């Protein structure tokens, strides 16, 4: 391969940071600005090593559980994925000052689950076991009040206490198509089941998947910039493959590119998960630019203008 080999790079738009991720990162940065280091963060604020490392460099200290934090007056930030109800209660018992960076769209799912439970419903959560968002949502209700559904097979195996008193909510970062199949199976088996008034999969997840679907059949390969523990990024790889892209790969940084995997391509699609910063996309374009004669264009499928309010304690801090 010579540097003169042409390569057309098509960027999916929208891609990268969503409003919830943007807000969560701002909360940590503004807390550092207002209160100084350290600012403790429970779990990765968002699932991206570059973001986490850059916040660590500014004085953020990441922990998995509150018991790793010494008695302190320093702020504690809860990650964008949301936390079980027990976490803020434990923080209050220890008189910790905490800032909740839970994405408002995840909080909406928490409220829905609590409302259904209060109405006497048995609640199902469509999601991936072990994901922090799922742990947080299930932790809103007492043990046994909410059951996890991961697949259509899980729907067939589920035995409700009362099929007339069932409701479901979903993780916000799922595959739109997979979730539609699971919801269809639930409605077929339990016609009385209640769902959200507006679907729980967030606008950003939906928009990024739609953008990939449009590009995938037109390119030889697709790169999804993101982390392997990022649910929405992993779903983008699956969506690209299912939509007709012959090769799709998750790439965290330019240094991780497997050049053999991309050998012989002339059209490359690039997108980024909702927790991946644009600098990493630029870095990957630059890496291809060092090996190919590249042209870069953008395919815009939606415009995103949504933004979320910061916690009141941080609103007066100049960004």
| Residues catalogued as catalytic | 133
Structural Rg of the chain based on CA atoms: 21
Residues contacting residue 285 through CB under 8 Å, at least 6 positions apart: 9, 270, 294, 296
HSE-up of 78 (CA within 13 Å, CB side)?
A: 26
CA distance readout (Å), 206 to 39, 119, 169, 219: 32, 29, 16, 21
CA distance readout (Å), 163 to 22, 142, 146, 160: 40, 20, 14, 6
Q: What is the 3-state secondary structure (H, E, C) of 26-84?
A: HHHHHHHHHHCCCEEEECCCCCCHHHHHHHHHHCEEEECCHHHCCCCCCCEEECCCCCC
């Amino acid at each position: 391969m010579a540097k003169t080999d042409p390569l057309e790079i098509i960027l999916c738009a929208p891609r990268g940071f969503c409003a919830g991720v943007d807000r969560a990162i701002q909360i940590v940065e503004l807390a550092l600005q207002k209160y100084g280091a350290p600012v403790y963060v429970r779990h990765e604020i968002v699932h991206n090593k570059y973001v986490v490392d850059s916040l660590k460099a500014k004085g953020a200290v990441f922990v998995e559980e509150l018991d790793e934090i010494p008695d302190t007056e320093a702020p504690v930030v809860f990650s964008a994925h949301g936390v079980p109800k027990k976490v803020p209660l434990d923080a209050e018992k220890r008189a910790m000052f905490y800032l909740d960076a839970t994405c408002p769209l995840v909080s909406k799912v928490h409220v829905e689950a609590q409302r259904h439970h209060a109405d006497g419903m048995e609640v199902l959560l469509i999601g991936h076991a072990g994901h922090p968002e799922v742990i947080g949502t299930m932790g809103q209700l007492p043990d046994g009040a909410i059951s996890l559904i991961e697949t259509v097979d899980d729907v067939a195996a589920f035995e409700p206490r009362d099929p007339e008193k069932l409701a479901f909510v979903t993780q916000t970062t799922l595959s739109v198509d997979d979730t539609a199949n699971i919801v269809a199976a639930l409605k077929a088996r339990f016609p009385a089941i209640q769902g959200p008034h507006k679907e729980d999969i967030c606008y950003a997840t939906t928009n990024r998947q739609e953008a990939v679907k449009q590009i995938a059949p037109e390119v030889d390969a697709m790169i999804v910039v993101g982390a392997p523990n990022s649910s929405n990024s992993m779903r983008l790889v699956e969506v690209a493959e299912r939509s007709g892209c012959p090769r799709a790969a998750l790439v965290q940084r330019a240094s991780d590119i497997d050049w053999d995997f991309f050998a012989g391509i002339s059209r490359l699609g690039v997108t980024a998960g909702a927790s991946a910063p644009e600098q990493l996309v630029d870095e990957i374009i630059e890496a291809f630019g060092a090996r190919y004669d590249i042209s870069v264009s953008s395919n815009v499928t939606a415009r995103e203008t949504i933004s979320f309010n910061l916690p009141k304690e941080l609103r007066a801090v100049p960004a």
